[in-house]
Structure 1
Amino acid sequence: MTTSKPDVRRWLAPGAMVVIRDEEWLVRATEDTTDGVAVHVQGLGELVRDTTATFYDTLDDVTPLDPAEARVVADASPRYRTARLWLESTLRKTAVPLADQSLSVATRGLADALGYQQVAVRKALDPQNLRPRILLADAVGLGKTLEIGMILSELVRRGRGDRILVVTPRHVLEQMQQELWTRFALPFVRLDTAGIQRVRQKLPATRNPFTYYRRAIISIDTLKSDRYVASLRKQRWDAVVIDESHNLSNAETLNNRLARLLARTTEALILASATPHNGKADSFAELIRMLDPVAVPPSGELDRDEIRRLVVRRHRHSPEVASAVGADWAERREPNNILIPATPEENAVASELEHTWLWPGTGGSPYSGARGTFFPWTLAKAFLSSPAALQETIDGRIERVAKDTKVPFDRAEAELRALRHLAILNERTMRTQAAKYTRLVAYLKEIGVGAGSATRAVIFAERLETLYWLHRSLPGDLGLPADAVELMHGGLTDPEQQELVERFKQEQSAVRVLVTGDVASEGVNLHAQCHELIHYDIPWSLIRIEQRNGRIDRYGQKHPPQITALLLDPASERFAGDVRVLAKLIEKEDEAHAALGDVASLMGRYDVKGEEEEIRAVLAGVKQLDDVLRPVTEVAAGNDVAAIFAQLFDTPGQVDEPAAAPEVVPEAGAGLYDDEVSYLEEALREAFIDPTATPARGGVGWRRDEAFGTVELTPPPDLVQRLEVLPQSYLADRKVTERLVLATTAARGKDRLAAALRDDKGTSWPDAHYLSPLHPVLDWAADRALAALGRNEVFAVCGEVESSTVLLLGTLTNKRGQVVSTAWLTAQFPIPDDPSFALVTPHDSIRDALQALGWTTPRANPGALATTDHLQPLIRPAVHEAAAYLEKTVFEAARRDAQQRVDAWRRKLDAWDGETAVLIRRSDAAASRERIAEERKLTESMAPARQLVRPLLVVVPDTEGELQ
């Protein structure tokens, strides 16, 4: 068949079959580029079955197979198994249209179907936005990772999630990878220290790792290096996720440079942060511009409607959250502030700090530094942490002063004398039992931590020396082995940090106490076996306190979390006042948590460092606590300029978002099979003569246990290849590549996920993985089934029809190759002697079309049709008549709808561009106009461009089959 180039291009749409380099391929996506049409394909032929590739029609001979020329072949398989599998696989490979707001797969994984999370997913997929772009700003503990997984799942099902990059802090790399795999069946390669080393061994030094791996998780600290930035400039992504995105807003940082680069090279962008702003309008505007460069006008003024379009924020006590989480998030107990009288030795140190360093009176301070109020408070903070921390601070200061030749000799000597005297006093405290430590040991025993007990606790402290000291001392004083108390800090490698968090989750692990610094205060889930959190020292920041508390006070916590703070209470009246200030911080965090879900607005500084400066001023007597901590009621009212961010997000009494949509779980078996496992089993029976046989005998050792809710198989090499991106430790521990065990129901999947935390394998990765709709084993089965037909063939089968009928699928795509609309039709030929007359009937869904054909349940196959010659003339008129019908009706309406959204976006760009000439700074003009030019190209590419109509099945009356 020869076809002119213009005609060829009109068939280059997702779902089309093409021949390139004498191999047959399935088109997964297309994109108009300056170099021609980029055709992204999946191999169908035996030699290329597990291959994905991209070809350009200007460089290769890309030959689409004309659907109107499809050859009809009879299906002789039992119960039409081959045709059923081929048709089901085609349905699974057909993308959900862009404008479809139904949740097709998001609620069919192992994430609980919570209405408020579904609202976030629908907002991200809102068809009024040309691209999925959203800032998930839900408060700590609401499940932003689950919302990310749900959004990514829907993007994959819509053909918009082939290449995905997830950027996250390094200590939560494995946690993110595990959540996306175990709950949504999305496999990602983890590029941590060990992962990058494997990549370097596998790939040449000059090879870009981001072209090799389609889906990767990597830490922001690794990715922002110049080496990777150079590789990223050459890549385009379907979706990018950046967790803890509040670290991006400073325009002068490498983090911001990385984020701006990724924002320009991806279609979908998901930012996530429980603290989405730092109180500065320009910094917050920087985040919003990453999502949508024209959401913030050139004047920089924030628009409430634009913010609410792009940002979703709720907290634990928002009505839609409180009504959904129920017993799966136990309410926290009242904060437990324990005042601990200082020992005589500690009181001596406190007195010395008070009279010599903090409030020296007329004699002045021996402090030699230029910033005369900072270092004394460093000493005070270290003292309130531990004697070990104070000693480390003193020693470090002595060393620096002794080496500093710029400090006048007399000043340096005075400070050194004072430091040495303080060291002597502190040494005496170290020879006795510290009061706070004594109370810690007693409290841990009170709550049940000890030999033979399963009770666990996480202890937070700011100073590294305090952590080391606690780690050394606690095992012996609690009667526990050394491995029952573990230490996590920022000096550990990312795999070491991830391994510690993993063991703390395990019920059978020996770990009972996790001593950690604030490296674990963001993103880490510590609530699986623990509901006791202890602040050994109090951060001088509400934000940090909230972050710490959120490690155990989060969705999934079954026991009321207890937050305990240990406060050393010296006899010094001034120090006693300091302790009361710190205790007040714990109480204020709890109050704001319940009323606002946003502690940062109480101080209005919106970052840890700024809050610490405010508290230092209070402790120094420069400010009163009431001057820096606003009442919760005032923040909720939002009645001053400082409350602008409280007004942007929902607060009690100000909710104007629509209520959470009802939880909707899509109908299972919307195609030809009742469930995923039935489809997989049929695919195995088609691919292997006896799938229950061992691999040596040509099978895969298929076993199905209905009572236990699992199936098993030995993965063939081409399936093993698809799983190799998962952690090597998981593949080895669970022997996944030797024996793949799958849970066939969500209940069984959740049970195995929970069991992984209880068994003795030392891993929270489950032994049986849930067979959800996006599972790679189903994709593997679909690829095998699609290879069942030869080039441009369509099956003929019998059904409950009055005359020969052709089932067709129509798709409308934009210039990016994304599906704008789909339509299911049947073309019936009621006049046997006139194949030119086709009666076209549209159907609301594939299920309705199958119902009309009598194909909703398996049918007996009386035998292959003796001949299909009389059916061949039906294909061309069926395709042409269906295409004409769609052009006038369904596709015309879909084209108008899509074009209206494109035109609205174009007008928005024009309005922004019009303001730019007057308001934008000259230094920003070039970069901004370049970004707008990119937006215009994107806008044009979203306009509908091509339609494709394919015959899927030819159905003849049952009587015709009976004659064979």
Structure 2
Amino acid sequence: MTIRFNPGDLVRARGREWIALPSASEDLLVLRPLSGSEMEIVHLAPALEALPVEPAHFDLPSEGPLALQAIAALLSDALRLSLRRGAGPFRSAAHLTFEPRAYQLVPLLMALRQPVPRLLIADDVGIGKTIEAGLILREWIDRGEIDRFAVLCPPHLVEQWTEELKERFGIDTVAVTASSAKRLERGLAASQTLFDANPHTVVSLDYIKAERRRDAFARACPNFVIVDEAHACVGTKQGSKQQRYDLLSDLAADKERALIMLTATPHSGDEEAFARLLALIDPSFASMQFEDQAYRQRLARHFVQRRRRDLEEGGWDDERVFPKHNTREFPYDLDSASRDFHESVIDYCLGVVEKAGEGRRERRLALWGTLALMRCVGSSPAAAASALRTRASNEAERIEAQVYDEDGDDEDAVDLEPALPAGETVASFETEGDPALKGLIETAERLRKARDPKLEALVDLLKPLINKGAKPVVFCRYIATADHVAAHLRKVFPKHDVQAVTGQLTSEERRDRVEAMGETEQRLLVATDCLSEGINLQQVFDAVIHYDLSWNPTRHQQREGRVNRYGQSAPEVYSAMMYATDSAIDGAVLEVVIRKAEAIRKATGVTVPLPDEHGPVTDALMSAMIRLRGRKDPRQMTLDLVSDEGEKLMESRWRDAEENERKSRARFAQNAMKPEEVRPEWDRASTLLGNAADAQTFVAAAMKRFDAPLEARPKYTAAHVADLARPLRERLFEKGLQDEERLSLSEPASAGTAFLSRAHPLTATLAEALLEGALDPQSMPDLGIGRRGAWPTRAVDKRTLVALLRLRFQLTVHGKTQHLLLAEEASLVAIADGAIVATGLEARALLAAEATRDLADIARERMVERAATELPALMEGVIAAHVRDRAAALAEDHGRVRQATAGLAGTPSRVTVEPVLPPDVIGLFTLIPEQN
């Protein structure tokens, strides 16, 4: 007869004891060793075992070492910190390597209120959308809701996602890109896709959007999908965005599929694109009936959008989450040679536009090419020379995207110098004799080698910042400029590690170069906009210099957002915007774009992108450039080059953008949850499991116990892993720790260190080793961790027993489907005269109270034996009642969390909690009142 085991039952099989875990099959047992960790889980079929699988019992040992007071407290902490299947409503809390902020829990609570989560998270840059999505994903995994998922993101974000999920959430994923897919598909069965073989994937949108791949992915796609940069998937034009949208539409059509979409720019003025984005949540949202109260209430269940100001002013920022942002403008003057070169290029470009013909397309292409060349001239002589020598392109849309710094499909081309306008090439002056163009090239080459007033201004800006200890990133628009600037700064700052990161490097090379810089104390990075997205710089750098003005204001936000974001360890970050006071090129951009966008940002708290219709922008920039020129030419005033209405139309577009943003914030502000409703629930869960402070106290005590105490260094705490006993050292090396591990005891962690949390490998390994050494002394015989003990203390006035318990519960989640989960909790119970006198932290304080003296061996043995004889009655009485009370309290906690967002959704899933009796008695200690 086969015995049926439920999650939490104790089982004896293969000569040892196990805890039964939830299993998807009645014929298969999933078991975790009673004295082991989650890494040692096995699957076995009882019918195939040589010896029968039987129920087991867990008893205190009748012999073995007796625990001293310090060891008992250490064992208590080890039990709490080793548990990975928390019983509280936030099961994900046990697996996080960071301490989430209260505001980051709001999307998680919203998701918990939905049978199938469908969310659009549109928080500002740097708030932590990746963390918010990761919290939902981790929770759904730990609740047993999913075992497969996919993250869809632009190709340059794939590696960042794989690292974030691993480092912050302990989730291993497989990156699926154009370069990795063929390797992953090798050896698969004909009927199997790589998504069948790899349940956890991070997928490049550009790889998967192609029709032949899209259909196959839609068939094999998991029921939990995260989409990053979702706004880049809903353009209304044909092409790449349409392919991405077709893919997402196919995925969203399955109502049982969870869909978490992330974007910092959900509504950029394109109403149709915004409607398509909302329709992915629910087709009915495409109507955008924002004046309908019922519509807005329904949408609010799925849409969260917060500015940094909302968090800082709304009571969410109870600790310093974001650094202070110190911004400034840094104007400088051109010298006469540079001014003359700018004027000559403008003259040349105006001539090109004049000769472009009467066709609308030809004239517009000439204008875009003109602006592109002027951008290079304003950037550096090196970029100007490169552009002047580059063969012209007839790809009008590509030139337009380059001019206005749009996010394109080809991220590696974001910093290439653009082509010459309207077909003018180097070959043309060589064969036909174009002295004007030849002269411009010669001038650019000469200026590249001469004194550069812009570079001198940069050095003047950097020196005081560097003297304050700042670690700057200098953002340039073009590769040639970045290389030019980096070469000069290496000469000026010879003691600094000066590196250039541009699109000439692969994404892996960029990431490796940035990480390597974190090892140097004096560092200075020169980068193009290939780094404005995709690689977070907040642990390595704390200042941003806009060497080149971006012509799309959101680029400035993206650049600064690499360092000014959640996780920045510096209390203050700096940013500075450079521009030439006497440059018509910089002046036009400031007047038409930058100043207008900044005014809107100050009014609404949001940086808005350029209007999608670029015609008025182009006209306004050309008109302003001509008007701001230092040299007057009557011919300019008669050329019919641009629309007279350009600047007026731009003013109108900016007014519309500001009004739309005000309306958007009024409609979608997330006010349904308050900090006081969110934070206490998470704090309750972390108290039960042990938070970072508990982990740090435990690690310090454990390392000292093992004769390898932590060492406080000026900028980090050193853990001397190499000094530990061989069994522990080998375990830690297997988890990637070094001989000396650099730890941070506070968040955010600085470069080259790791935050010491409860999920850090050092904490987890030490806790598991101590617990294993106590439960199975043969596994680590040198530890001598006793589970019984007795000592006198002034903390009690009567004889008190402290029982260290591992409670087990069966959690049943009732929703569209029903899930049975095992949950565990560490509990300390202090008992005197047959009644519980303290639990939790109060009982922990009693256990940690210093012993006043040693007992004689015979007295200690007598006390330990007496406690053992009293234990059975206590287990059936007050301890069993305590376990049932905890089950009832946990059920109430689960219910309350789901009600915390009562106004946001329909009927949430329900959780019932059943205790598994008897609990495991990990330790039993007798406290004897000290006689004064």
Range class of TM-score, shorter chain: 0.5 to 0.7
Which residue identity does 1:77 align to in structure 2? P
Instruction: Map residues 718-757 of structure 1 onto 2, 5 A cutoff.
Output: 736-740=737-741, 742=743, 745-746=745-746, 753-754=749-750
Q: Distance in 2 between matches of 1:960 and 1:66?
A: 36
Deviation at 1:355, TM superposition (A): 3.1
1:514 Cα deviation after fit: 0.2
Q: 2:916 matched to 1:953?
A: no
Deviation at 1:494, TM superposition (A): 1.7
CA contact (8 A) 2:804 2:826 kept: no
Q: List aligned pairs for 1:552-591, cutoff 5 A.
A: 552-554=563-565, 556=568, 558=571, 561-566=574-579, 576=584, 579-591=587-599
Aligned partners of 2:672 and 2:710: how far apart in 1? 50
Match of 1:493 among 502, 506, 521: 506
Tell me the residue number matched to 2:667. 648
**In the TM superposition, what is the alpha-carbon distance from 1:317 to its structure 2 partner?**
3.6
Question: In the TM superposition, what is the alpha-carbon distance from 1:656 to its structure 2 partner?
Answer: 7.3
Q: Judge which range, 335-344 or 51-60, deviates more.
A: 51-60
Residue in 1 that maps onto 2:108: 124
Q: For 1:7-18, what aligned pairs fall within 5 Å after superposition?
A: 8=5, 11-12=6-7, 15-18=8-11
C-alpha contact 1:331 1:561 (8 A) present in aligned 2: yes
Find the counterpart in structure 2 of residue 618 from structure 1: 620
Q: How does 1:419-568 map to 2 (within 5 A)?
A: 421=434, 423-433=437-447, 438-448=452-462, 458-467=473-482, 470=485, 474=488, 479=492, 486-503=499-516, 508-509=521-522, 512=524, 514-521=526-533, 524-525=536-537, 528-529=540-541, 531-536=543-548, 538-554=549-565, 556=568, 558=571, 561-566=574-579
CA distance in 2, matches of 1:873, 1:904: 47
Q: Which residue of 2 aligns with 1:349?
A: 345
CA-based RMSD of the aligned residues comes to 6.2
Q: How does 1:818-829 map to 2 (within 5 A)?
A: 818=821
**Residues 445-465 of structure 1: CA deviation (Å, up to 9, x unaligned):** 322459997776544444445
Residues 177 and 488 of structure 1: CA distance in aligned 2, closer, same or farther (over 3 Å): same
Aligned with 2:124 (options 139, 160, 184): 139
The residue that corresponds to 1:257 in the other structure is 247
Residue 329 of structure 1 is matched in structure 2 by: 323
What is the percentage of aligned positions where both structures have the same residue? 17
User: Can you list the C-alpha shifts for 1:123-181, whole angstroms capped at 9, x where unaligned?
Assistant: 42354345776544332344556666777787898788998877666666777777778
Deviations 1:60-87 (A, max 9, x none): 99998758x5445447533378876666
The code of the aligned residue for 1:737 comes to Q
How far 1:585 moved relative to its partner?
A: 1.6
User: What are the equivalent positions in structure 2 for 1:595-606 lying under 5 Å apart?
Assistant: 595-600=603-608, 605=611
CA distance in 1, matches of 2:389, 2:329: 35
Distance across 1 between alignment mates of 2:812 and 2:155: 39
- CA apart distance, 1:482: 12
Matched, 1:313 2:305: yes
Give 2:356's aligned residue: 365
Residue ranges of structure 2 left out of the alignment (5+ in a row): 236-240, 396-421, 622-641, 778-785, 792-797
Contact 2:109 2:900 in 1 (8 A): no
- Within a 5 Å distance, the mapping from 1:54-203 to structure 2 comes to 70-71=58-59, 73-74=61-62, 76-79=64-67, 88-92=77-81, 93=83, 95-97=85-87, 99=89, 117-126=101-110, 127-130=112-115, 135-144=120-129, 186=170
Which segment is superposed worse, 425-434 or 714-723?
Answer: 714-723
**Which residue does 1:276 correspond to in 2?**
266
CA distance 1:255–1:64, change in 2 (3 Å): farther
Q: Residue 109 and residue 148 in structure 1: after superposition, are their counterparts in 2 closer, same or farther (change >3 A)?
A: same
The 2-side partners of 1:389 and 1:500 are apart by 23
Take 2:288 and 2:388, find their aligned partners in 1: how far apart are those partners? 47
1:627 to 2:645 alignment: no
Distance 1:428 1:255 in 2: 48
SS across alignment from 2:577: strand
The 5 Å alignment of 1:668-817 reads: 675-677=694-696, 679-680=698-699, 691-692=706-707, 702-705=708-711, 710-714=718-722, 736-740=737-741, 742=743, 745-746=745-746, 753-754=749-750, 764-766=751-753, 769-787=754-772, 788-789=774-775, 810-814=809-813, 815-817=818-820
The residue type paired with residue 539 of structure 1 is S
Shift of 1:353: 1.6
Instruction: Tell me the distance in 2 between the aligned counterparts of 1:459 and 1:367.
Output: 42
Which ranges of structure 1 fall in alignment gaps of 5 or more residues? 402-410, 571-575, 693-701, 726-730, 755-763, 832-838, 909-938
- TM-score, normalised relative to structure 1: 0.66
CA distance in structure 2 between the aligned counterparts of 1:780 and 1:284, rounded to whole angstroms: 48
User: Contact conserved, 2:29 with 2:43, CA < 8 A, in 1?
Assistant: yes
CA pair 881-378 structure 1, distance change in 2 beyond 3 A: same
Flag the 1:527–1:53 CA change in 2: closer, same or farther, 3 A. closer
Query: Does the C-alpha gap of structure 1 residues 86 and 223 become closer, same or farther in structure 2, counting only changes over 3 Å?
Result: farther
Residue 615 of structure 1 aligns with an amino acid whose one-letter code is V
Distance in 2 between the 1:287 and 1:209 partners? 28
Task: Say which of 226, 231, 240 aligns to 1:246.
Answer: 231
Q: Which amino acid aligns with 1:645?
A: S
Q: Mark the CA change 1:130 to 1:432 in structure 2 (over 3 Å): closer, same or farther.
A: same
TM-aligned CA distance change 1:957 to 1:545, over 3 Å: closer
CA distance in 1, matches of 2:712, 2:485: 50
Distance 1:527 1:437, change over 3 A: farther
Residue 760 of structure 2 aligns with an amino acid whose one-letter code is H
Q: TM-score, normalised by structure 2?
A: 0.68
- Check conservation: 2:84, 2:94, Cα contact below 8 A: no
One-letter amino acid of the counterpart of residue 813, structure 1: T
Does residue 379 in structure 1 map to residue 396 in structure 2? no
**Paired AA for residue 948 in structure 1:** V
Contact 2:875/2:918, CA 8 A, preserved across alignment: no
Mean alpha-carbon deviation: is it higher for 219-228 or for 315-324?
219-228
Q: After superposition, what is the alpha-carbon deviation per residue over 1:598-625, rounded to whole angstroms, capped at 9, x for unaligned?
A: 2227x5x4xxxx2655522434326433
**Counterpart code for 2:109:** L
Q: By how many angstroms is 1:497 displaced? A: 0.9
AA in 1 matched with 2:329 = P
Find the residue that maps to 1:585 and give its secondary structure: helix
Evaluate the alpha carbon distance shift between residue 644 and residue 739 of structure 1 in structure 2; reply closer, same or farther with a 3 A threshold.
Answer: same
- Displacement of 1:508 in angstroms is 3.1
Change (3 A) 1:724 1:649: farther
1:389-437 CA-partner distances (Å, limit 9, x unpaired): 5665566555879xxxxxxxxx999999699736334324324427998
Distance 1:783 1:37, change over 3 A: farther
Deviation at 1:589, TM superposition (A): 3.0
The 1:137/1:203 distance shift into structure 2, 3 A limit, reads same
Aligned-partner residue type, residue 517 of structure 1:
D
8 Å contact 2:382–2:445 — kept in the other structure? no
Cα distance in 2 for residues equivalent to 1:161 and 1:518? 35
**Contact 2:384-2:444 at 8 Å conserved across structures:** no
* 1:369-402 Cα shifts (integer Å, max 9, x gaps): 965412442233223313655665566555879x
| Aligned residue in 2 for 1:51 | 40
Q: For 1:252, what is the secondary structure of its paired residue?
A: helix
1:645 deviation in Å? 2.9
Q: CA deviation at 1:244?
A: 3.7
